[in-house]
Chains A and B, each alone.
Chain A
Amino acid sequence: MSLIRATGLRKTFGDFVAVDGIDVEVAAGESFGFLGPNGAGKTSTMRMIGATSPVSGGELTVFGMDPASHASQIKARLGVVPQTDALDEELRVRENLLVYGRYFGLTREQVRARTGPLLEFAQLTEKSDAVVESLSGGMKRRLTIARALINEPSLLLLDEPTTGLDPQARHVLWDRLFRLKRDGVTLVLTTHYMDEAEQLCDRLVVMDHGRIVAEGSPRSLIAQHASREVLELRFDVADHAERVEEVAGIAERVEVLADRLLLYVHDGDGALETVAARGVHPLSALVRRASLEDVFLRLTGRSLIE
């Protein structure tokens, strides 16, 4: 059964088109991602799915229901982690969970019984009586996720769950999200980090300017739109375009970035040898596997993170 089904979904703000006719289907138990740069329309899409933003055009059903007429019923089964934490700063950590559960009509006993395990899950047991203001960014994020789980949602919407966190905090969060996925929770997340998308998503769409420009699993997208490996070459020049000619013919495709050349090749080390054999000597060279960043560059001609 598909939990989310969108066809030709649009969102406009006045004359401005934020989401421009997207088709998306998310099945139960799946982990689905929206990958895209700033302003791509990810948040706008998530808010329509969360029934807090009216649909401007096209069709959308969530749990088979129309958000326009069944907002409360949809929200009752959703967990929402917004892009910026909106915790209740006038309440303590534990109270944030207690009170939020009451908004879902849970009894005090139910809420109390769920609070302990959720604090544990978010690694905040020691902080349960702390004021929210005193938490670090990573703690606040985990509390927001714990809060979103108080109603035991079958679908969790996460808008940039790890933006602004340090690498360690991100890995902690990824681990928590993995556990939810294993428990059968459907995850829908937005991100502009390709490593995050590769880690967490079974399937994703790449969005740009309100449209979907590609869709598939991280592996299949890379296979389809990039090569197996990438050879990065840095030269001591102001404009890397000057050096493109010297590597011509070595790669299936060459991308010129501000500070390096990207050569899309099957065998990176082999390509590097060929480069050296031609007498071309870059300042530095790096062979890596192709990533979603390369897919995005290929599809839009721009980097994901400006």
Chain B
Amino acid sequence: MATGTTAAPARHALPFPVAMARPAALVERNLRAARHYWLTFVSGFFEPVFYLFAMGVGIGALVGSVDVDGREIPYAVFVAPAMMATSAMNGAVYDSTGNVFYKLKHSKLYRSVLSTPLRPWDIAAGEISWALLRGLIYSAAFLLVAAVAGFVPSWWALLAIPACTLIGLGFAAVGMAATTYMRSWNDMDYVQLAILPMFLFSATFYPLATYPPALQWVVQATPLYHGVDLVRGLMMGDLHVGLLVHVGYLAVFSALGLWATTRRIGTLLLT
């Protein structure tokens, strides 16, 4: 039957397309599975759009405009980037917690995947790539809707799509790492406990300057704040070096999550 393959070269020597071939097999698996529950897939798009119109149009009518660093900005323009960044976070967390917990504990999917050549790193990379692909479609659709509604003043906004992918990467990686520590579905509540305050207070609905200085530091420490401010800068065409700080923060956040996830999958399943 099968003849022996020669030993593959060391892992760090693999060129990118080959290195991603194994995670891609898991993405393909998820795509096939998703065909059987496509409705959840579609509903993920509507949530941020509903928020955008409820907040931007509804509340915007009451608030009018907000003052950001001395500039008057229509409320919808202010809040649209926040909704886009938040939905990148929510989607990533959704895909990397509940779905992953089910596969880890109930369906034993990863156990059988690990008896093939895929390694823990490939599982982490595959699941997170899947979350990002999904997020990418949502981000692009959201941006289109917001632009058509007239809430996007700058062409730099196109860069908000990769920015949202970076946000998704961070939250999917850290979310998946957190999931490996969960013992039961009840523990999923802790995720909401972390997500909800970030959603409400990361300069999403009003500018950072609204907070007293001490609280501003707390807000600035959270990952979603960096995501929101990055996307807002890009969508309003307000480019400055500070944006690079946000990118750096999110990159480190992502790397930590990926590292922890890979280690934990090995610890849990290769016993």
Contact = CB atoms under 8 A, between A and B. Distances in A.
A90 interface: yes
A3 B192 CA distance: 50
Contact of A91 (B26, B33, B119): B33
B5 to A, nearest CB: 6
Interface stretch (A146-154, A171-179, A227-235, A288-296): A146-154
Contact of B8 (A50, A73, A89): A73
Interface stretch (B106-114, B138-146, B216-224): B106-114
A75 interface: yes
B29 interface: yes
A127 interface: no
A52 interface: yes
Given A82-B112, A88-B109, A185-B1, A95 B32 contact: yes
B112 A88 contact: yes
B70 interface: no
Interface in B70-122: 107-109, 111-119
Nearest to B27: A102
Contacts of B115: 50, 52, 75, 78, 80, 82
A103 B117 contact: yes
A52 B269 contact: yes
B28 interface: yes
A48 to B, nearest CB: 11
A76 interface: yes
B97 to A, nearest CB: 17
Interface string A64-93: 010000111101111010101011111100
A71 B33 contact: no
B21 interface: yes
Given A99-B28, A152-B1, A73 B7 contact: yes
B25 A103 contact: yes
Given A54-B270, A99-B28, A102-B28, A77 B116 contact: no
Interface of A: 13, 50, 52-54, 63, 65, 70-73, 75-78, 80, 82, 84, 86-91, 95, 98-100, 102-105, 151-154, 183-185
16 contacts: A13-B271, A52-B115, A52-B269, A65-B7, A75-B116, A77-B2, A86-B112, A88-B33, A95-B32, A99-B25, A102-B29, A103-B118, A104-B117, A152-B2, A153-B2, A154-B1
